[in-house]
Structure 1
């Protein structure tokens, strides 16, 4: 871990309280044309699960890096057995002091499926139009992936000699369909990806509807994804002879109970710091409710006020929601089986068994079988110290003066969950500013501002250097 001193979270800024004009467009960073070519190549290789291939992306990036002079010995390509399309690339840029832990740049290269018939433009052709890049993966997260590879190429060309070793891991499977490459590397190549700090997706800048800067988020924590299946069974029979113990009705009663249940408010440093500072910025009813809930997590009135916002509701507690249903086998037969998938987003550090026990208590029906599916080992978030937050805050201020950096807890999850559980402190920071509508991430016509990508390239180039040159 870089540094030991605790960090007091900086003041947050509400999305409506303040916005800042974009600074004047600076001269292009060195090597922009080469970066654009790299970015284009990565985006135009389909790496979705249904029609694509991650291995092709890693091979092309490795070949481009080798052609630019990056030593072959420092490029490690992996194709996990039985998963020929889930290739990963680890590149190593040696530091001057091998005793100091490395800085790891982590990124997933798989993207969500995209059907050409649904899109306005070809999802796997990089198109620059109206100040935006359009294509699947430009925002999630091939722009940052390309910046990571570009960083190493720039350092190599400059003859930069960092104090710490810098590593890059481009993996597949974060979107949940391919084999998860981050976990595979932790399990099979731990020494190669070990680091004192890992930088990942998750944190990004926020723009208002007019394109003005609001804040830049530093992902200090994120929720853990867990999945459970509820199942009810029954002998069934002919639909003309209904019976009281219907599998569908039993499952419906269980889901109704779950829909009315709120997990208790639970604080860790990230969401406590966020609500503490936001209270002072917002003021009014919401601000008072934030102050009250931090002082007393059981304050029901304060919770009711904040629950009006889905984002606040989720940031305050674990959530579990039904996402898939399946029941019956014929239109004229009583159902023999009914199942529901429950997707939970869990406050870091809470074990699977605790969530499963809570579901069982809420449903209170021994005939409803509850099975844990996708789970992770409980792990506390990586600590946010002065040595972690300070360099990011300073690098951000240098590129975007007056735009505050705001620590927060993400309600979703990334590969940081796997690395943190393995003892590799991982944080989300990209410097890529997004529009309020989310830029089509996981949806149609995904896009990102050209300016945002180029400014993030400038920011992340400097940020990685700042971490790599820390002595302790």
Structure 2
């Protein structure tokens, strides 16, 4: 039975309208993060803070640099002895080239039941769900069991230096009592074939290892023999890194994902034959195949300035990712692949994460999804990339990826997030805010 003052599904009709409007209006605020400190989230932060204030909260806006704005607010729970829960979402988005899109990427256009624009999935829709939920609670007089700290952050799409990293370093007191947190990259519909709807919940992340490789050789004329050619030495290391086949390392979250996905597909969970098991998982293999091992992908090369001059220096960048417990192996292998002539260093490093999949919080997320899609299948998974949860983990906060959305089969979350024509269905947003409301009341 619905709670007093709420709609049929536990949250009022105004919230179902607001989550759509807020998503559209947030998209219209251009918060493009170009990296290197080039971004401005101030207008979006003021927008979010105003809506939180209207719900009776006392939000604060915090900046490390002008325009790089973060918002933090706390909802007091009914149980003062309970641990607090962090609910966080980032306000910045990756760039969008308007000429590639079917619509203006910052229009927030709502057409044929779809909200279009950069950030529709990543992750202004989740920001909108949080705002709509909090406001619905204020209207209905709902209070959660545990304190909930809400954080809207800057700079997640770059280094988090101006966002969650800054908050964790300079404003840790705002997160006092928080032991767990939820944010992006989980709780969305993944279509697994044959009508299967799978909802992966993030319970781990590979660590980030962005590397810079450098080779120092002997400069010289391009027509002369030169055994100390920096370009040649660097190219050899880059080729070895790109061709390296990292060994399978099954961390607990990935083991749990494989085991539960095998049950969904009625397959034996033979973890000694992972390649064979992936075949049996069909499309759902995509949820685990990038987190079976460490990885390192060369992404940029820098060398030379004239065709007939052998340069003294050459450099490259590599996007590395490390599984929990296998950081030392990553470093050892990079030493071997680079060899004695190429040096490497971390440009940006964050630790890998793991979260328990047998916790009451995970169970509450699972129950909330299944309440609104009883035929769905909720499974844990490890994210191949990273989120702001890495920054908040420095405060002892265990992070989960849970920003619920029901998506139709033609919407691929991984394809549209950061992609062209990013968009989200209206009914998917309304499903998401219902699920988020139900979870936060249970958590």
Q: TM-score, normalised on structure 2?
A: 0.88
**Residues in 2 aligned to 1:328 and 1:225: alpha-carbon distance in whole angstroms:** 29
Aligned twin of 1:396: 369
Identify which of 49, 53, 71 aligns with 2:40.
53
> Secondary structure of 1:374's partner?
strand
| Alpha-carbon distance, 1:28 to partner | 7.2
Aligned twin of 2:360: 387
Aligned twin of 1:204: 187
1:70 aligned to 2:53?
no
Contact 2:155 2:161 in 1 (8 A): yes
| Alpha-carbon distance, 1:348 to partner | 2.1
> Secondary structure of 1:62's partner?
helix
> Secondary structure of 1:96's partner?
coil
**Residues in 2 aligned to 1:165 and 1:419: alpha-carbon distance in whole angstroms:** 17
Aligned twin of 2:299: 323
1:441 aligned to 2:413?
no
**Residues in 2 aligned to 1:392 and 1:265: alpha-carbon distance in whole angstroms:** 29
Aligned twin of 2:98: 116
| Alpha-carbon distance, 1:311 to partner | 5.8
> Secondary structure of 2:60's partner?
strand
CA deviations over 1:1-29 (Å, ceiling 9, x no partner): xxxxxxxxxxxxxxxxxxxxxxxx99973
RMSD: 2.9
CA deviations over 1:334-361 (Å, ceiling 9, x no partner): 122111111111112444x542222112
> Secondary structure of 1:34's partner?
helix
Identify which of 416, 437, 442 aligns with 1:461.
437
Aligned CA distance change for structure 1 residues 163 and 278 (closer, same or farther; 3 Å): closer
| Alpha-carbon distance, 1:305 to partner | 7.5
| Alpha-carbon distance, 1:156 to partner | 1.7
CA deviations over 1:69-99 (Å, ceiling 9, x no partner): 424xx2111011xx21210000111123333
| Alpha-carbon distance, 1:282 to partner | 4.5
Aligned twin of 1:12: none
What number of residue pairs does the alignment pair up? Answer: 427
Aligned CA distance change for structure 1 residues 98 and 446 (closer, same or farther; 3 Å): same
1:172 aligned to 2:148?
no
| Alpha-carbon distance, 1:247 to partner | 1.2
Aligned ranges for residues 77-96 of structure 1 at < 5 Å?
77-80=61-64, 83-96=65-78
Aligned twin of 2:342: 368
Aligned ranges for residues 18-57 of structure 1 at < 5 Å?
29-50=13-34, 53-57=40-44
| Alpha-carbon distance, 1:239 to partner | 1.2
Aligned CA distance change for structure 1 residues 42 and 290 (closer, same or farther; 3 Å): same
**Residues in 2 aligned to 1:149 and 1:241: alpha-carbon distance in whole angstroms:** 66
**Residues in 2 aligned to 1:210 and 1:127: alpha-carbon distance in whole angstroms:** 30
Contact 1:182 1:415 in 2 (8 A): yes
| Alpha-carbon distance, 1:212 to partner | 5.8
Q: TM-score, normalised on structure 1?
A: 0.83
Aligned ranges for residues 354-365 of structure 1 at < 5 Å?
354-363=329-338, 365=339
**Residues in 1 aligned to 2:250 and 2:397: alpha-carbon distance in whole angstroms:** 22
Aligned twin of 1:253: 236
> Secondary structure of 1:139's partner?
coil
| Alpha-carbon distance, 1:198 to partner | 0.7
1:273 aligned to 2:256?
yes
Structure 1 unaligned blocks of 5 or more: 1-24, 295-300, 468-472
1:416 aligned to 2:389?
yes
Contact 1:292 1:302 in 2 (8 A): no
| Alpha-carbon distance, 1:213 to partner | 5.8
**Residues in 1 aligned to 2:297 and 2:286: alpha-carbon distance in whole angstroms:** 13
Structure 2 unaligned blocks of 5 or more: 1-8
Aligned twin of 1:407: 380
| Alpha-carbon distance, 1:289 to partner | 8.4
| Alpha-carbon distance, 1:176 to partner | 0.6
| Alpha-carbon distance, 1:379 to partner | 5.5
| Alpha-carbon distance, 1:254 to partner | 1.2
Aligned twin of 1:102: 84
Aligned CA distance change for structure 1 residues 99 and 191 (closer, same or farther; 3 Å): farther
> Secondary structure of 2:135's partner?
helix
| Alpha-carbon distance, 1:303 to partner | 9.5
**Residues in 2 aligned to 1:279 and 1:438: alpha-carbon distance in whole angstroms:** 22
**Residues in 2 aligned to 1:120 and 1:75: alpha-carbon distance in whole angstroms:** 36
Aligned CA distance change for structure 1 residues 213 and 153 (closer, same or farther; 3 Å): farther
CA deviations over 1:185-219 (Å, ceiling 9, x no partner): 11111121241221111113235499966111111
Aligned ranges for residues 123-138 of structure 1 at < 5 Å?
123-138=105-120
